[in-house]
Amino acid sequence: MWPYPKIIAHRGGGSLAPENTLAAFECGFNHGFRAVEFDVMLTKDLIPVVVHDEELGRTIAGEGLICDTLAADLVQMDAGSWFGAKFAHCRVPLYQEVLDFCSQRGIWMNVEIKPATGFEQITGQIVAQFTSDFYQHKSAQLPLFSSFSLTAIAAARATAAHIPRGVLFDQIPINWLAHLRELEAITLHTNQRHLSQLVAEQIQRAGYGLSCYTVNEISRAQELLAWGVDALFTDRLTLIGPDFA
């Protein structure tokens, strides 16, 4: 049902390093995590990069949109100072760099396809093609795609059906099963805030993997695992460590 690690470092290094940077992935690895989640978006020149927000400004020192910025310009920008002066050297990594980093260290990946508005189909397609090409001659375990965008997941399936897929819901809709079936997804990822035990059990009974983001309290982590939730994304790498489950 869930052939992956149970505790997953959210955005690479949770709250210990600037999200979605190589420093974050290194931090997660050094804390014993062998499973990470991160977000992938396309630049103006359609290069997949690891970043969460559509807009520059919160984590990247700059203005405008990722989809209006060339990759060569984006990777020059400071993506670490917002977190702390000693991270001023951090940059937005290319998806390629994160695939290299994680696959070299045996870190399993949940690749969240995070399309900018209006780029859902092409983001799913390009990320899936890129991933498929990367793994073509490798025997390593494939990552798991997920997305809030059903269009992006459908495009990933059309492009690389062999790479497993999950669907992300902030709040699980009543027709969740129809969506999972249509997309041939194997997992459902949801906001822990809105999950009830009843729905968790329905998802489990239907044979799907179930994971929750973002779980940062021990009592809630224990409760969700007791309900049968398969995996948790956490920002609190030292509190809810890789061996928590």
Which residues are annotated as catalytic? 10, 52
- Cα separation, 99 vs 112, in Å, equals 13
**Based on the number of CB atoms within 10 Å of its own CB, is 195 exposed (0-12), middle (13-18) or buried (19 or more)?**
buried
Q: Are 215 and 233 in contact (CB under 8 A)?
A: yes
Q: Where are the alpha helices (DSSP H) in 5-105?
A: 22-30, 71-74, 95-105
Round to whole Å and give the CA distance between 104 and 107. 8
User: Which residue in the shown chain puts its C-beta closest to ligand G3P?
Assistant: 213
Binding site partner of 25, from Mg ion, ligand G3P, none, Cβ cut-off 5-8 A by kind: none
Least distance CB 198 / Mg ion (angstroms): 26
Question: In angstroms, rounded to a whole number, what is the distance separating the alpha carbons of residues 132 and 244?
Answer: 32
Work out how close the CB of 225 gets to Mg ion at its nearest, in angstroms, rounded to a whole number. 21
Of 36 and 180, nearer to Mg ion (C-beta) is: 36
Q: CA-to-CA distance for 68 and 76, rounded, in angstroms?
A: 15
User: Min. distance of Cβ 33 from ligand G3P in angstroms?
Assistant: 15
Site string for ligand G3P, 135-154 (x = CB under 6 A): -----------x--------
Q: Which does 230 bind (CB under 5 to 8 A by kind): ligand G3P, Mg ion, none?
A: none
Question: Which residue in this structure is represented by tokens 């399993």?
Answer: 108
Shortest separation between residue 139's beta carbon and ligand G3P, angstroms: 26
CB of 168 to ligand G3P, least distance (A): 6
- Residues within window 40-69 making contact with ligand G3P, judged by CB under 6 A: 52
H/E stretch holding 168 reads strand 165-169
- Answer yes or no whether residue 112 interacts with ligand G3P by CB under 6 A: yes
What b/e sequence results for 69-103 when a residue is b if at least 16 CB atoms lie within 10 Å of its CB, and e otherwise?
A: bebeebbeebbbbbbeeebeebbbbbbebbbebbb
Nearer to ligand G3P, 72 or 99 (CB): 99
- What does the binding site for Mg ion look like in residue numbers (CB under 5 A)? 39, 112
Residue 235's binding partner, choosing from ligand G3P, Mg ion, none, with beta-carbon cut-off 5 to 8 A by kind?
Answer: none
Q: Residue 144: helix, strand or coil by DSSP?
A: strand
Nearer to Mg ion, 230 or 235 (CB): 235
Which residues in this chain contact ligand G3P in the complex, by CB under 6 A?
Answer: 10, 37, 39, 52, 112, 146, 168, 189, 213, 233
